[in-house]
Copies of this chain bind each other. A is one copy, B any other.
Amino acid sequence: MIVKSLLTEKNPFNSTAELREWIERRNKEVTVQVKQIPFAEMDKWYSKEDGSLHHESGRFFSIIGIDVQTDYGYINHWRQPIINQPEVGYLGILTKEIDGILYCLMQAKIEPGNVNCVQISPTLQATKSNYSRVHSGKSPNYLEYFVNAKSENIILDQLQSEQGARFLRKRNRNIIIKVDEDIEVLPDFKWMTLGQIKELMHYDNLVNMDTRTVLSGLKISDYVSPLDDLKNISEYGKGWLLSSTTNHAYINMREHLSWLTNLKSKYDLHVKTCPINEMPGWIKNDMEIVREDGKFFKIIGVNVTISNREVSNWCQPLVQPMQDGICAFIVKKIHGIYHFLVQAKLECGNFDVMELAPTVQCLTGNAEKAVIKPLFYDYVINAPKCQVLIDALQSEEGGRFYHEQNRNLLIEADDDFPLDVPDNYTWMTLNQMYDFLKFNNYLNIQARSIISALNYK
């Protein structure tokens, strides 16, 4: 039923065009006003003496300073602000089988930082503050289905990391459950097939990061049975399936694990908190925490007003990037099987030193200006159209990031692309990547975002 869901956009509830119209309409109906205000005017937020920003409840998230020391890369000691939210949130998709096809109950969710105000989101996005007993308000929609899910109804249940350069060791519980009973479809929710969600990922900033990370864990080949009608599958889809099931990898798992053990042992990462007021290269004024050279990102305080069916208004800090980024995987057929060129990347907020990242992951402006460009940057930027399998702008989480988007690229290497790659890179089949993905904190969120967009149709 998962495979059928993947290979069809036929949906008696909503066609793909209707879903696009729905999001467009919701975008028109909703007014989101995000006004930058001085930190001191953020209602319910305050600055501590060291410059860090906190919610008066002590919950949600805070903006703190960290001091980073590492022997990885060109810069070995720096300080920066980071989002601190030491709790595991739920990112949950509720699904139901209807006439042999799996449908996902997706939400049109408004977030203040979204490029499009409204994006397609999981059924449930809830922080521990939201769903734990400390919270006095109404519990999030559909939460009870996830909390009470029986083991046999859990399709996927993983702890996965967020952006390591922006979050301090943040993780979420990515979960997909299947319900048997009838479900009330609330106004902002609609049933979609996996094929429809994949199709919508072709458009810029329509499917949010939380949806993408949850779906990235679904290893499609696990659900293919000999009875499945695969006539709708594309040549590429067949390629992904083969790469997901093969045991004939160019480099075996023992070697990958040893490669990663070696890198994690080789590089040190020491992170400790430091005052925001004592970060060389950064200044905090009334309005923002920003670098003197204008690079990377800044922290702003905003007043958000969302006028929808009801009006809601609140204040919060947001992270605003100074430029867009790029996340690109290079894939290459080796002995007829697709292999992904994976990078082991150290980021300061990583839970476990290094995570597996796309071939290229960097900020566009920085890379263009850099004397030494990131490896493979020119290759992916200049790839001819026939080698470009995926190319879409995708947003980061709009609850924390203001208009942050990354160009997601999947590039098929040409025949002359070398198999020998630098130390921090390796070739993996999808089967191997899913093996890592099953366990916590191996594939980073940027890698997962691209994997989730692999199309089979």
Interfacial residues of chain A within 246-265, with CB under 8 A of chain B in the complex: 253-255, 257-259, 261-262, 264-265
Q: Given the complex of chains A and B, what is the CA–CA distance between A292 and B364 in angstroms?
A: 59
A159 within 8 A of B: yes
Q: Mark the stretch among A112-120, A150-158, A182-190, A414-422 that contacts chain B.
A: A150-158
A41 within 8 A of B: no
Closest B residue to A172 using CB positions: B265
A51: chain B residues within 8 A (beta carbon): none
A439 within 8 A of B: yes
Evaluate contact between A440 and B352: CB separation under 8 angstroms: yes
Q: Given the complex of chains A and B, what is the CA–CA distance between A177 and B428 in angstroms?
A: 23
Q: Which listed residue, B156, B158, B262, B440, touches A157 by the CB 8 Å rule? A: B262
A90: chain B residues within 8 A (beta carbon): 265
Q: Which listed residue, B173, B436, B441, touches A265 by the CB 8 Å rule? A: B173
A50 within 8 A of B: no
A351: chain B residues within 8 A (beta carbon): 352
Evaluate contact between B438 and A157: CB separation under 8 angstroms: no
Interface residues on A, range: 20 to 34
Interfacial residues of chain A within 156-191, with CB under 8 A of chain B in the complex: 156-159, 173, 175
Evaluate contact between B157 and A88: CB separation under 8 angstroms: no
Binary interface profile of A, 416-457, with partner B (CB < 8 Å = 1, else 0)? 000000000000000000001011111000000000000000
A286 within 8 A of B: no
Evaluate contact between A258 and B157: CB separation under 8 angstroms: yes
Given contacts A352-B351, A440-B352, contact A261 B173 (CB under 8 A): yes
Evaluate contact between A151 and B258: CB separation under 8 angstroms: yes
Evaluate contact between B257 and A157: CB separation under 8 angstroms: yes
Q: Which listed residue, B151, B264, B441, B442, touches A88 by the CB 8 Å rule? A: B264
Known: A86-B268, A157-B261. 6 other contacts (CB 8 A): A151-B258, A156-B254, A157-B257, A159-B261, A257-B439, A436-B439
**CB pairs A–B below 8 angstroms (22 shown):** A86-B268, A86-B270, A87-B268, A88-B264, A88-B265, A151-B255, A151-B258, A154-B255, A154-B258, A157-B254, A157-B257, A159-B265, A173-B261, A173-B265, A175-B261, A257-B438, A264-B440, A351-B352, A352-B352, A352-B441, A436-B439, A439-B439
